[in-house]
């Protein structure tokens, strides 16, 4: 009786899960490829994380502008507070056969969605085949590469990309006699040490955990390793956590901690410390710009700079989720979705989006848009750092990367709690390798 | 709730035997007739239906799914693994199974031992009447009535090593400050402290109730014989509290093994897996990593452990007969 | 020694005898200790309120500011960020319906398990108890699929019905029935009453303390739920208040004073509700606990 019930539920969810009917989409798409005009009213749903503050208002303005230009299309937004609930919701809806039309997704999620055949390649969207390549070429190189999965096809579309930047307390810099912001990691460490006195800790980071997902602390480790010469993953997604460059990167953090120049916390602790004048600098996503300003509240001027370099140059990690289109959407919805994707990634909207949120525009054509003019003037760091989108590092698009990221976060907190960096990383290495082989 | 005898013993409590004869054969037959019925399950029907649909059926689904490399997005792509997930679970690293199990048992053990002891002491302290006593009882119960999400957020801030109240208090008392949830060794104790604050109010109320029915004349007799307060407690009060204590221990065990929200909100399973309990790992594997089959296997293991502890407690409590 | 029956009595202790000297001192010591402990337990709530009324720049100062500053800017900011009145009404509605449903199912099932004798009773009881032992995080996806199949996603139904049965409630009612003298229920059969009538006329009033406890605990639990409605609903028009709070926390996590304000006004109604009813609750809980034998 138990197995019958299980089969019942299993069948229900299997039927609901969309089965393996992906072959139909490619057939219909080649026919509908040029039929890009929307003739009947259509509603598309979009699951995203632009849930508060300037993100929310910017997204709503984007939708209003799009609907005005495309009167037959309605975009229905559902916002989630962070990526965790977003993934749960997208998964649950796909499992129930009620996936949204468009959803935000990290590269690792997209890979799982693609191999499970619940999303469609962008080229298969009605209207995309003819213009996709041209549109792609307008994006920064790093962004272009980020949209592909291991099979080489473009499965995602960009609209909110960020790089890491450093936010300094300009008053503290002056008070500590630091006349120019550091350009090397060695100098950075020295400056942090100088600043760490009288209740000030140079920098506070969040190593990350399973609840929070990707954090700046873990990204910093990846950037340090890359600037030492070796990235934490190979392009096939294999971990290289025990390579000397990565160990040296973790040792760098451990030394900072030992010297009292580094503290840990959760929930954007660097921002809180900076705002309380208890930190010299915060390493954060550029999209945190407005949050930083709010927390600082005008108590002191902020100096924003690019990351320093290591022995092999400088490395910055690109972050921000992409957009995917789910296969259960109807042909009309997919056509409308393509129009929306084009709109969001176009120069005009990217300029407005970037100026409102602190994300970088994904295309350089946005920099000359009027909407960006005053923002660029007030924030010169944007123009100087944006070319980083061409060669930013990014985690390879494999589903096991999520687990490996958590393993790295664990290694960081282990090392900062006293375990040796090499043994912490070797634990992470074997856990990640297991995850990769199980996938 | 657990381990009660049937109604026959209940009548002894009132001290009244049947002074009036009850008509034995009226209407529906003997007085026992209305109790014996094949349709009794209908009464439990609504509850069982709700449990059945939303908990029991998905539980069977979970048992089933634990045998597969389950693709929740597209179940037709799932691959049968037999006991493979269980094997992987036992040989997992970072965190290892034993470490996760230890974290669960550490937390549960602390909650059961400290929680029972503290709530019993509070109950003994607060069993008198009076407005201060009453206010105190309410104050201690209040954390239990408030949302765990809200209180976890606030305690997260209290525990902040740089700005939090906790370290300020230690600092003012000239004690060394603690990293609280940020430190590998201090994280679990910090979560336990929060959980105790949240839970002891409930178990204190249960103990208070148990204390009200303590037979006073035994206590008086003991005092007359010269027993001090400790002896009175140990030889007279404590034995009479056994069913209540047993109830408290069972409930605390079950709830603690399943505890999740505080680990999610306060410590995120860290640092370095110090607070990754089985329950948190189930969340991590199912919601974050989407390893549905593996998560299901973990859930089954957690279920079996919970059943084990409940059963063991049930059987080993002397003087508490099994439920009829 | 005169044998008297052990009757539940509250509060314990001798009445009418004035405490002498040393006893009086002990009594005062107890009072002071009780007050201190109570204050300690309540302190985090006070602290939340203080943070919520801090002026800008005060919440992270060291040493911390311990007295409320009565600056309501954080409250107005937090208030504007979510449709709190609507969420509040949703929560009250959902919690009330859940309570009613739980009372019905608990009374019926408690009656079945505690009074009636039928084949399969022990199995059903074990099954009911085992419901507590499965972690909710794995059940949520299959439950979502089920909810979607019956078109209950993003409705009030899905937030009420699955929670309309409580293991705690069932066993509590059962406990009362089990320790109740047989004569009480038997009295009803004199008039030839059917089972349902016996339950309604005699059983329900007799387990009233249990029903009071169930009402309060289920209401509180419903108010506090967040994971289930987070996954099962997405429209603010039907979401409950804790989802609003956790979304607010996720999106504005570093606005601690705003968070404190939101935590205060989402918790305050519940605290007031509890304070008003706490006497009934404590009384009911005590007689319930007293019946655990």
Domain identity same for A50 and A182: no
Residues 29-88 of C with CB under 8 A from A: 56-57, 60-62, 81
Rg (alpha carbons) of chain C, rounded to whole number: 24
Tell me the residue range of the domain where A431 lies. Answer: 164-318+397-438
Q: Counting beta carbons within 10 angstroms of the beta carbon of residue A187, is it exposed (0 to 12), middle (13 to 18) or buried (19 or more)?
A: middle
pLDDT of residue A312: 92
Domain identity same for C212 and C277: yes
pLDDT of residue B164: 86
**Region A84-98 average pLDDT:** 91
Three-state secondary-structure class, residue C216: helix
- What is the tens place of the pLDDT at every residue in A140-187? 999 999 999 999 999 999 999 999 999 999 999 999 999 999 999 999
Q: Are C149 and A15 in contact (CB under 8 A)?
A: no
Residue A1 has pLDDT above 80, yes or no: no
Domain identity same for A325 and A301: no
Which residues in C lie closer than 8 A to residue B310 (C-beta atoms)?
129, 133
Which residues in A lie closer than 8 A to residue B72 (C-beta atoms)?
17, 91, 94-95
Q: Answer whether C148 touches A (CB < 8 Å).
A: yes
Give the least confident one: B21-35, B213-227, C153-167.
B21-35
**Region B102-117 average pLDDT:** 96
Residue B324 has pLDDT above 70, yes or no: no
Residue C255 has pLDDT above 60, yes or no: yes
pLDDT of residue A33: 39
The answer to whether residue A29 is domain-embedded is: no
Beta-carbon-side half-sphere exposure of residue B262 (alpha carbons within 13 Å): 26
d(CA B260, nearest CA chain A) in Å:
11
Domain identity same for A432 and A383: no
Residue C55 has pLDDT above 90, yes or no: no
Which residues in B lie closer than 8 A to residue C248 (C-beta atoms)?
none
Greatest mean pLDDT range, A130-139, B11-20, C284-293:
A130-139
Domain identity same for A202 and A281: yes
Domain identity same for A266 and A414: yes
**Region C29-34 average pLDDT:** 90
The answer to whether residue A11 is domain-embedded is: no
How many domains are there within chain C?
2
Residue A2 has pLDDT above 70, yes or no: no
CB-based contact B136 C293, cutoff 8 Å: no
Query: Binning pLDDT at 50, 70 and 90, where does residue C21 land?
Result: low
Q: Are A111 and A237 in contact (CB under 8 A)?
A: no
pLDDT of residue C187: 73
Three-state secondary-structure class, residue C194: coil
d(CA C149, nearest CA chain A) in Å:
7
The full DSSP string for A253-316 is: HHHHHHTT-EEE-SSSHHHHHHHTT-BSEEEEEGGGHHHHHHHHTTSS-EEEEPPPBBTTB---
Among A12, A95, A299, the residue with its CB nearest the CB of C57 is A299
The answer to whether residue A27 is domain-embedded is: no
The answer to whether residue A273 is domain-embedded is: yes
Residue A167 or C278, more confident: A167
Domain identity same for A103 and A170: no
The domain boundary residue, chosen from A352, A372, A391: A391
The answer to whether residue C14 is domain-embedded is: no
Please give the Cα distance from A126 to A310 (Å, whole number). 46
CB-based contact A13 C230, cutoff 8 Å: no
pLDDT of residue C18: 53
The answer to whether residue C1 is domain-embedded is: no
pLDDT of residue B128: 79
Query: Binning pLDDT at 50, 70 and 90, where does residue A404 land?
Result: very high
CB-based contact B269 A211, cutoff 8 Å: yes
**Region C73-84 average pLDDT:** 86
Which residues in A lie closer than 8 A to residue B184 (C-beta atoms)?
413-414, 417-418
The phi and psi torsions of B69 (rounded to 5 degrees) equal: -85, 85
CB-based contact C253 A91, cutoff 8 Å: no
Domain identity same for C131 and C214: yes
Domain identity same for A49 and A115: yes
pLDDT of residue A168: 95
Q: Are B261 and B148 in contact (CB under 8 A)?
A: yes
Give the least confident one: A3-17, A35-49, B268-282, C238-252.
A3-17
Give the least confident one: A378-387, C171-180, C190-199.
C190-199
The answer to whether residue C18 is domain-embedded is: no
Residue C48 or B213, more confident: C48
Domain identity same for A43 and A80: yes
Structural domain spans, chain B: 96-316
Q: Give the Å distances, CA to CA, from C286 to A331, B23, B206, C204, C280.
A: 63, 35, 7, 18, 10
Helix axis angle for B292-316 and C136-149, nearest 10°, is 120
CA C39, B158, C264: angle at the middle one, nearest 5? 70
CB-based contact B162 A438, cutoff 8 Å: no
Domain identity same for A273 and A213: yes
Please give the Cα distance from A160 to C126 (Å, whole number). 52
The answer to whether residue A385 is domain-embedded is: yes
Three-state secondary-structure class, residue A325: strand
**Region A240-254 average pLDDT:** 96
Q: Answer whether A177 touches C (CB < 8 Å).
A: no
Domain identity same for C37 and C178: no
Which residues in A lie closer than 8 A to residue B160 (C-beta atoms)?
265
Tell me the residue range of the domain where C161 lies. Answer: 82-290
What's the whole-number average pLDDT of chain A? 88
pLDDT of residue C291: 63
Residues 245-274 of C with CB under 8 A from A: 246-256
Q: Give the Å distances, CA to CA, from B93 to A406, A428, A432, B90, B99.
A: 13, 9, 10, 9, 9
Q: What is the largest CA-CA distance in chain A?
A: 77
Q: Give the Å distances, CA to CA, from B206 to A107, A108, B124, B199, B245.
A: 51, 49, 12, 12, 9
pLDDT of residue C2: 37
For β-strands A164-169 and A102-105, DSSP reports them as unpaired
- The answer to whether the Cα torsion of B125, B127, B133, B139 is positive or negative is positive
Among B74, B182, B268, the residue with its CB nearest the CB of A211 is B268
Residue A138 has pLDDT above 60, yes or no: yes
Please give the Cα distance from B198 to A236 (Å, whole number). 47
Nearest partner of A289 among A273, A305, A266, judged by Cα: A305
The answer to whether residue C9 is domain-embedded is: no
Q: Say which CATH number the domain at A74 has.
A: 3.40.190.10
The answer to whether residue C17 is domain-embedded is: no
Residue B261 has pLDDT above 90, yes or no: no
**Region C197-211 average pLDDT:** 83
In terms of CATH architecture, what is B96-316? Orthogonal Bundle (1.10)
The phi and psi torsions of C140 (rounded to 5 degrees) equal: -70, -35
Domain identity same for C31 and C129: no
Domain identity same for A243 and A280: yes
How many domains are there within chain A?
2
- What is the tens place of the pLDDT at every residue in A263-309? 999 889 999 999 989 999 999 998 888 888 888 888 899 999 889 99
Domain identity same for A144 and A219: no
Query: Binning pLDDT at 50, 70 and 90, where does residue B320 land?
Result: very low
Q: Counting beta carbons within 10 angstroms of the beta carbon of residue B318, is it exposed (0 to 12), middle (13 to 18) or buried (19 or more)?
A: exposed
Q: Counting beta carbons within 10 angstroms of the beta carbon of residue A344, is it exposed (0 to 12), middle (13 to 18) or buried (19 or more)?
A: buried
Nearest partner of B128 among B199, B212, B201, B203, judged by Cα: B212
Nearest-by-CA chain B residue for C121: B41
The answer to whether residue C148 is domain-embedded is: yes
Query: Binning pLDDT at 50, 70 and 90, where does residue A36 land?
Result: low
The full DSSP string for A177-197 is: T--S--SBHHHHHHHHHHH--
d(CA A156, nearest CA chain C) in Å:
24
Residue A91 burial (CB count, 10 A): 24
Domain identity same for A256 and A189: yes
Give buried/exposed letters for C266-293 (b at 16+ CB in 10 A, else e): bbeebeebbeeebeebbebbbbbbbbbb
Please give the Cα distance from A102 to C177 (Å, whole number). 55
Domain identity same for C100 and C28: no
Residue C26 has pLDDT above 90, yes or no: no
């Amino acid at each position: 009786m138990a197995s019958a019930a299980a089969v019942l539920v299993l069948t229900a969810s299997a039927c609901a899960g969309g089965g393996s009917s992906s072959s139909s989409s490619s057939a219909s798409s080649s026919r509908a490829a040029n039929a890009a005009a929307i003739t009947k009213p259509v509603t598309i749903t979009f699951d995203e994380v632009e849930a508060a503050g300037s993100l929310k208002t910017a997204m709503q303005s984007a939708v209003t502008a799009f609907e005005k230009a495309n009167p037959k299309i309605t975009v229905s937004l559902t916002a989630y507070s962070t990526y965790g609930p977003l993934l749960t919701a997208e998964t649950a809806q796909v499992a129930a056969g009620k996936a949204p039309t468009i959803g935000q997704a990290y590269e690792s999620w997209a890979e799982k969605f693609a191999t499970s055949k619940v999303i469609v390649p962008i080229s298969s969207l009605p209207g995309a085949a003819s213009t996709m390549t041209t549109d792609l070429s307008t994006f920064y190189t790093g962004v272009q590469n980020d949209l592909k999965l291991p099979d080489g096809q473009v499965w995602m579309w960009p609209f909110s990309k960020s790089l890491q930047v450093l936010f300094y307390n300009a008053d503290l810099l002056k008070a500590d006699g630091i006349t120019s912001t550091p350009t090397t990691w060695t100098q950075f460490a020295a400056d942090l040490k100088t600043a760490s006195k009288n209740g000030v800790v140079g920098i506070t980071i969040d190593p990350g955990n399973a609840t929070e997902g990707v954090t700046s602390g873990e990204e910093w480790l990846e950037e340090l390793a890359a600037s030492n010469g070796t990235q934490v993953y190979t392009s096939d997604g294999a971990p290289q956590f025990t390579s000397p460059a990565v160990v040296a990167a973790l040792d760098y953090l451990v030394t900072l901690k030992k010297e009292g120049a580094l503290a840990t916390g959760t929930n954007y602790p660097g921002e809180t410390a900076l705002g309380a004048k208890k930190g010299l600098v915060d390493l954060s996503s550029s999209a945190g710009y407005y949050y930083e300003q709010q927390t600082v509240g005008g108590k002191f001027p902020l100096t924003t700079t690019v990351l320093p370099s290591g022995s092999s140059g400088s490395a910055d990690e690109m972050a921000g989720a992409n957009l995917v289109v789910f296969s259960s959407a109807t042909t009309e919805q997919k056509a409308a979705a393509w129009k929306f994707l084009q709109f969001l990634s176009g120069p005009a909207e990217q300029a407005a989006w970037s100026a409102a949120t602190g994300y970088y525009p994904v295309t350089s054509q946005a920099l000359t848009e009027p909407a960006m003019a005053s923002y660029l003037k007030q924030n010169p760091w944007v123009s100087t750092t944006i070319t980083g989108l061409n060669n930013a590092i990014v985690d390879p698009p494999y589903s096991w990367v999520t687990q490996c990221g958590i393993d790295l976060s664990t290694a960081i907190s282990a090392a900062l709690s006293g375990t040796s960096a090499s043994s912490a990383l070797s634990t992470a290495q074997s856990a990640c390798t297991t995850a990769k082989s199980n996938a | 709730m657990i381990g009660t005898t049937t109604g026959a013993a209940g009548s002894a409590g009132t001290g009244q035997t049947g002074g009036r004869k009850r008509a034995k054969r009226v209407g529906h037959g003997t007085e026992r007739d209305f109790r014996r019925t094949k349709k009794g399950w209908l009464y439990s029907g609504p509850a069982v239906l709700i449990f059945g649909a939303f908990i029991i059926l998905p539980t069977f689904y979970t048992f089933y799914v634990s045998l597969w490399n389950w693709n929740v997005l597209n179940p037709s792509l799932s691959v049968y693994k037999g006991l493979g997930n269980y094997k992987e679970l036992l040989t997992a690293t970072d965190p290892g199974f034993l470490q996760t199990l230890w974290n669960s048992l550490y937390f549960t053990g602390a909650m059961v031992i400290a929680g029972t002891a503290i709530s019993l002491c509070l109950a003994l302290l607060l069993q008198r009447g009076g407005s201060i006593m009453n206010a105190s009882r309410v104050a201690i119960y209040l954390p239990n009535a408030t949302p765990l999400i809200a209180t976890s957020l606030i305690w997260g801030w209290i525990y902040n090593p740089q700005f939090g109240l906790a370290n300020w208090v230690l600092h003012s008392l000239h004690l060394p400050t603690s990293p609280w949830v940020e430190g590998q060794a201090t994280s679990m104790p910090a979560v336990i402290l929060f959980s105790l604050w949240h839970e002891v109010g409930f178990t204190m109320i249960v103990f208070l109730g148990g204390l009200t029915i303590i037979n006073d004349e035994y206590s008086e007799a003991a005092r007359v014989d010269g027993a001090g307060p400790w002896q009175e407690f140990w030889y007279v009060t404590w034995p009479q509290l056994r069913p209540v204590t047993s109830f408290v221990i069972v409930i605390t065990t079950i709830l603690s093994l399943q505890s999740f929200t505080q680990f999610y909100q306060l410590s995120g399973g860290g640092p370095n897996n110090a607070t990754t309990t089985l329950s948190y790992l189930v969340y991590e594997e199912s919601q974050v990593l989407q390893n549905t089959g593996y998560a299901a296997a973990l859930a089954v293991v957690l279920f079996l452990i919970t059943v084990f502890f409940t059963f063991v407690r049930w059987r080993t409590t002397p003087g508490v007969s099994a439920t009829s | 020694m005169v044998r008297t029956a052990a009757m539940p009595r509250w509060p314990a202790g001798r009445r009418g005898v004035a405490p002498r000297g040393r006893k009086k001192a002990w009594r005062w010591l107890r009072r002071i200790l009780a007050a201190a402990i109570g204050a300690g337990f309540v302190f985090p709530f006070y602290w939340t309120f203080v943070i919520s009324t801090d002026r800008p720049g005060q919440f992270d100062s060291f040493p911390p500011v311990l007295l409320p500053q009565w600056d309501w800017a954080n409250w107005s900011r937090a208030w504007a960020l979510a449709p709190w009145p609507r969420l509040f009404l949703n929560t009250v509605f959902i919690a009330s319906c859940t309570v009613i449903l739980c009372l019905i199912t608990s009374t019926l099932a408690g009656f079945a398990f505690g009074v009636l004798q039928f084949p399969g009773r022990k199995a059903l009881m074990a099954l009911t108890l085992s419901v507590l032992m499965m972690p909710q995080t794995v059940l949520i996806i299959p439950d979502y699929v089920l909810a979607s199949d019956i078109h209950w996603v993003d409705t009030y139904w899905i937030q009420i019905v699955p929670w309309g049965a409580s293991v705690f409630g069932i066993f509590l009612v059962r406990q009362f029935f089990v320790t109740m003298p047989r004569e009480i229920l038997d009295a009803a059969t004199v008039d030839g009453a059917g089972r349902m009538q016996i339950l309604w006329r005699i059983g329900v009033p007799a387990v009233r303390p249990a029903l009071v406890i169930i009402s309060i605990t289920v209401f509180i639990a419903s108010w506090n739920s967040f994971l289930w409605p987070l996954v099962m609903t997405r429209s603010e028009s039907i979401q409950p208040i804790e989802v609003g709070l956790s979304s607010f926390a996720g999106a504005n996590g570093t606005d601690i004073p705003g968070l404190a304000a939101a935590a205060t006004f989402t918790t305050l109604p519940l605290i007031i509700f509890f304070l008003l009813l706490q006497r009934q609750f404590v009384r009911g809980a005590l007689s319930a606990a007293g019946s655990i034998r």
